[in-house]
Amino acid sequence: MKLFALIVLLLFGLNGILVEPLRLLYSERRNIRLLHVDGDRRSQNNFTTTVLAKNLEDAIAVAFHYQDQILFWTDVSLGKILRKSIKKDSKVEIVVSVGLKRPEGIAIDWVTKKIYWTDSHLKLIEVVNLDGTQRSVLFWNNLDQPRAIVVDPSHGYMFWSDWGEKPRIVRASMDGTGRRNVITTDVKWPNGLAVDYKDPRLFWLDAHKDYSRLESSNLDGKNRKKLISSSLPHPFSITIYGDRVFWTDWERLSIESCNKKTGHEKWLVKDKIKDLMDLQAFESERQPDVKNSCAIGNGGCSDLCLLAAGGNHTCACPTGIVLLDDSKTCEDGPQNFVLVARRTELRLISLDTLDHTAIVLPIRDMRHVVVIEYDPVERFVYWTDQDLHLIKRAKLDGSEEQIVVQAEVKYPEGIAVDWIGRNLYWSDTGTDRIEVSRLNGTSRRVLVSENLDEPRAIAVDPGEG
């Protein structure tokens, strides 16, 4: 009888200490590792560590898609979101490479295969497909320093923390509607966030020295409970697995754990981890099966199908594009917009939507863009590059990029499109000429080459000839 009681205690009475192998995914800026714990989790002798991604620049937030076995992370130095298959010898792929400054939080909707992220510098929260297509801004107003972000597809909610002048934790539907503050008092530096999907509760860490603690609440922010209210020097990231909470601490360079309901039974999982950042429990339990209305025919949406509270969904469009009156179909690109040239990139600001977010066009190898023009007929954008000494064009989505004129081009500082006659005019301060060609660069000829001294801006009025 005593032996039976001992077996029961070992299997069920130690809160998962001796059973159920655990895998913890964590980032340490230059590397992302998988910590495998098999046996007594209190003994570091039972740990093995595998490097999943190495020689990185500055990996901060990490996430994963368990079924597809894909690892995702944000790099704040490169300003990119990247991914890599967890299978051996796989290559790192870029998911989002433009229009990012400091992406500090990332979350995966494993149900509809979306990435959600925060950018604390640009003050944006965005969503995109796992392959980087159909990117859309969800929130752009009333964001100060958005940091951590988590999603709860089973309830259709997303949560994020904000470190701004009015620190808070915010909840909204995953389609960007129904925004509301859930935690606004007794909070200073809300860092890590996690949702317990098995026993629905929201968990968070506060890193401020005067507020340092681990807390939880209902998903609406009610029924708050302090699990640990001291002895947390600088907690950063948090995750849930089974009946345990796991978190990282910057000062202790450690991963630690406690009981998720009481805050008791605290122990050190692993220490001496330099540059320790984000933490995720890499287990199927963290991404359970969820029935969703986007599963059949993409919910009837032409582009993005986003989950919403109450088991519903909403059709959405890429940034700058309007959803038509049928609430399912997106317009064929932005119709009214402003194009802006920066030295190494082109940006589009749509006037069709309220956010007016500048979209970086996916065009590479721009060295010194000086001037741009647009052909509304074929929807090509044209630009001159003084370092490359050429004129190029491409579609707004970056496709069909091609050199229009390159030979005998030095410093083209003016360009104009004749959208009626289908001609391209440009001035060159290096050759002191004004030239014209067809829009594809053929039938080129010099219009003016005498009595010009560094001609710059040029404009045409096709309607008047």
Please tell me the predicted confidence (pLDDT) of residue 42.
58
Question: Does residue 7 have a pLDDT over 70?
Answer: no
State the pLDDT at residue 38.
74
Checking if the pLDDT of 10 tops 70, the result is no
Tens of pLDDT, residues 166-202: 999 999 999 999 999 999 999 999 989 999 999 999 9
Percent of the chain's residues with pLDDT above 90? 84
Q: CATH top-level class for 16-286?
A: mainly beta
Mean pLDDT for the stretch of residues 267-273: 92
Calculate ∠ Cα 334-335-336, nearest 5°.
100
pLDDT at 334 over 70: yes
Confidence of residue 3 (pLDDT cuts 50, 70, 90): very low
Average pLDDT, the chain: 91
CATH 2.120.10.30 occupies which residues in the chain?
Answer: 16-286, 337-448
Can you give the pLDDT at residue 87?
Answer: 81
Model pLDDT, residue 195:
98
Is the pLDDT confidence value at 27 over 50? yes
- Assess whether pLDDT exceeds 80 at residue 4: no
Cα–Cα distance, 385 to 394 (Å, whole number):
14
pLDDT of residue 43: 56
In one letter, which amino acid is 120? S
Q: pTM of this prediction?
A: 0.89
CATH of the structural domain 337-448, one choice from 1.10.10.350, 1.10.580.10, 2.120.10.30, 2.170.120.20: 2.120.10.30
User: What's the pLDDT tens digit per position in 107-147?
Assistant: 999 999 999 999 999 999 999 999 999 999 999 999 999 99
284 pLDDT exceeds 70?
yes
**pLDDT confidence of residue 329:** 97
How do residues 32-64 score in pLDDT, each as one tens digit?
999 998 765 555 566 889 999 999 999 999 999
Query: Residue 445: is its pLDDT beyond 90?
Result: yes
